[in-house]
Amino acid sequence: MQYFIADFLNPNTQLSIIDGQGEIIDQQTVRIEPTEYVNQLAEYIIELSHEKPLIS
């Protein structure tokens, strides 16, 4: 199982994919507009998840 973490660091957000043992699989820092935060966050998480094979 993998977990997605979004750490808001104004004005950037650090996205992480973490495995069941707490190891970082992938990480990306993005800048998201506050007015579209939820929609853009979802899009960035989907993009990041497609960059790595997440089946374990």
Instruction: Report the pLDDT value the prediction gives residue 4, as an integer from 0 to 100.
Output: 94
Question: Is the pLDDT score of 50 beyond 90?
Answer: no
Task: pLDDT band for 56, please (50, 70, 90 cuts).
Answer: low
* Domain residue extents for the chain: 2-51
Going by C-alpha positions, the residue among 17, 15, 18, 24 that lies closest to residue 44 is 15
In order of 8, 34, 40, the CA distances from 31 in angstroms are: 10, 9, 9
Residue 55's pLDDT is: 65
User: Residue 52: pLDDT above 80?
Assistant: no
**pLDDT, tens digit, 9 for 90 and up, residues 2-47:** 899 999 988 899 999 999 999 999 999 999 988 999 999 999 999 9
Cβ atoms of residues 48 and 32 within 8 Å: no
Letter for the amino acid at 8? Answer: F
